[in-house]
Amino acid sequence: MALTEQELRTLDYEPDAGGHFGDYGGRYVSETLMAALSELDQNYQMLKNDPEFQREFDADLATFVGRPSPLYHAQRWSNAIGGAQIYFKREDLNHTGAHKVNNTIGQALLAKYSGKPRVIAETGAGQHGVASATVAARLGLECVVYMGADDVERQSPNVYRMKLLGAQVVPVESGSRTLKDALSEAMRDWVTNVDNTFYIIGTVAGPAPYPQLVRDFNAVVGREVKWQSKEILGRYPDALVACVGGGSNAIGLFYPFLKDTEVAIYGIEAAGRGLSTTEHAAPLCSGRPGVLHGAKTYLMDNSDGQIAHTHSVSAGLDYPGVGPEHAYLKDIGRANYVGATDDEALAAFHEVSEVEGIIPALETAHALAYTKTLAATMRPDQTIVCNMSGRGDKDIFTVAKMEGISLT
């Protein structure tokens, strides 16, 4: 049920003791993992307030990742659209090329402090896999990355990057051969090897405490936008826009602004070939509540209650669920969730490349597509911050193939 503006301003947006955001979240896992999750939760709650842990995390973000990332005025694109002024939060300029490294730095440090010599990860577009392999190499940890076989094929540059960094990449042939199945396989590995393995989950989905800790590590994005917008604009932006698959880049931007209700929030899902079809990955737009990967959230299922196959031109958004905090924000009315189709994302991919000289990730291109639509409805004295969550180097082969262009 949607809350009033006053209620949204005063709401405590933290999960309860069981890891629930309202009706969503929790831990729906086997007994084998309950002890591991409880241990992880205890370690995280202790370490997040530990000065030494925070000092090491902040230092890595500054000197290894290269933070803060710039808040860039896309002036030519703004002028061409003729509405609001658009700013990009340049997470594409981070080491490894996306926002994912903010989270993997934090989780790898948790693994180090927990005495776990082996880390595993799932990946869709490959950005989280690269970020996990990167921090594992830096800390001397064994790293195994699970990736859907279809994604291995369409994201081959990132597969090679992971291998260069010393990670083992395991193609997952089961199910839809995409991100959902990679995450399932990673969780099976963790059940088997829980004593020596830390699971670096790549999004704000999964059982508690993952949605909270991934959000907290990525919230550096929104915190920076707060002071950068005050410095550049003298105020907060009128709207925030980010793409949503599992939802980590979006919640990282949104979370610090949740109580600032004058700032509108838009999460953009993958509408694929259209929300009126079954070929999309937009559970918040057209799904229903259920349990997936250890948490209650919105998901896409069929009439038999089985998880539905999804489709998106973007491997990183091709997921039938979403982080439980996004489900909660939808229900209480704090965030708006809409879809952008494959065609709209591809058009934005080309347009921003040609007008601003920035090649965005296909995931980000979904947010850019809606940013253009939204900006056209706003005044020139208003502002939008769109999270440029990753760079598009990884996607050029996919886009070229779709357009009949051979790069070999």
- pLDDT, tens digit (0-9, with 9 covering 90-100), for 339-365: 999 999 999 999 999 999 999 999 999
Residue 110 burial (CB < 10 Å; 0-12/13-18/19+)?
Answer: buried
In a domain, 317, yes or no: yes
Same domain for 139 and 241? no
pLDDT at 386: 99
- Whether the link from the prior residue into 360 is cis, omega within 30° of 0, is no
In a domain, 9, yes or no: no
Share of the chain above pLDDT 90, in %: 91
**Tokens read off for 378:** 């706003």
For residue 371, which of 384, 360, 380, 356 has the smallest C-alpha distance? 384
Same domain for 394 and 359? yes
Of 185, 214, 243, which one is at a domain's C-terminal end?
A: 214
Same domain for 258 and 168? no
Same domain for 164 and 312? no
In a domain, 250, yes or no: yes
Dihedral angle at the C-alpha atoms of 307, 369, 315, 120, nearest 10 degrees? -90
pLDDT at 211: 98
In a domain, 28, yes or no: yes
Of 183, 214, 245, which one is at a domain's C-terminal end?
A: 214
Same domain for 347 and 299? yes
| Residue 408 in this model has a pLDDT that exceeds 90 | no
What is the spatial distance between Cα 237 and Cα 254, in angstroms, rounded to a whole number? Answer: 12
Is the model's pTM score more than 0.85?
yes
Q: Is the dihedral of CA 224, 230, 236, 241 positive or negative?
A: negative
For residues 150-174, average pLDDT: 93
CATH number at residue 246: 3.40.50.1100
Strand partners, 341: 272
Same domain for 229 and 196? no
What is the spatial distance between Cα 245 and Cα 125, in angstroms, rounded to a whole number? Answer: 11
| Residue 178 in this model has a pLDDT that exceeds 90 | no
| Residue 243 in this model has a pLDDT that exceeds 80 | yes
Q: Which residue has the tokens 């670096």?
A: 200
Strand partners, 272: 341
Split at pLDDT 50, 70, 90, the class of 179 is: confident
For residue 178, which of 93, 300, 276 has the smallest C-alpha distance? 300
For residues 292-307, average pLDDT: 93
With contact defined as beta carbons under 8 Å apart, do 327 and 298 qualify? yes
In a domain, 15, yes or no: no
In a domain, 361, yes or no: yes
pLDDT at 52: 96
Same domain for 242 and 173? no
289 Cβ contact partners less than 8 Å away, ≥ 6 residues apart: 23, 24, 296, 297, 298, 299, 327
- pLDDT tens by residue, 107-155: 999 999 999 999 999 998 889 999 999 999 999 999 999 999 999 988 8
For residues 62-82, average pLDDT: 98
With contact defined as beta carbons under 8 Å apart, do 299 and 330 qualify? no
- Number of domains observed in the structure of the chain: 2
Domain residue limits at 54: 24-61+100-214
**Tokens read off for 63:** 């000197």
Query: Long-range pairs for 29-34 at CB < 8 Å and ≥24 separation?
Result: 29/207, 29/294, 30/191, 32/191, 32/194, 33/187, 33/190, 33/191, 33/194, 33/207, 33/294
In a domain, 408, yes or no: no
Same domain for 266 and 279? yes
For residue 284, which of 91, 24, 100, 99 has the smallest C-alpha distance? 24
| Residue 215 in this model has a pLDDT that exceeds 80 | yes
pLDDT at 343: 97
| Residue 1 in this model has a pLDDT that exceeds 80 | no
Active site residues per annotation: 100, 122, 389
CA 389 to chain CA mean position, Å: 8
- Whether the link from the prior residue into 209 is cis, omega within 30° of 0, is yes
For residues 329-341, average pLDDT: 98
Phi, psi of 342 (to 5 degrees): -55, -50
Same domain for 337 and 356? yes
What is the spatial distance between Cα 392 and Cα 106, in angstroms, rounded to a whole number? Answer: 24
pLDDT at 147: 96
| Residue 281 in this model has a pLDDT that exceeds 80 | yes
**Tokens read off for 138:** 């830096």
Q: How many CB atoms lie within 10 A of CB 344?
A: 19
If you average pLDDT over every residue of the chain, what do you get? 96
For residues 162-187, average pLDDT: 93
Same domain for 77 and 126? no
Split at pLDDT 50, 70, 90, the class of 202 is: very high
Same domain for 305 and 207? no
Bridge-based pairing of strands 239-243 and 383-388 is parallel
For residues 272-277, average pLDDT: 96
| Residue 217 in this model has a pLDDT that exceeds 90 | yes
For residue 45, which of 219, 254, 259, 208 has the smallest C-alpha distance? 208
Split at pLDDT 50, 70, 90, the class of 176 is: confident
In a domain, 260, yes or no: yes
Same domain for 193 and 112? yes
Split at pLDDT 50, 70, 90, the class of 156 is: confident
Of 180, 214, 248, which one is at a domain's C-terminal end?
A: 214
Split at pLDDT 50, 70, 90, the class of 283 is: very high
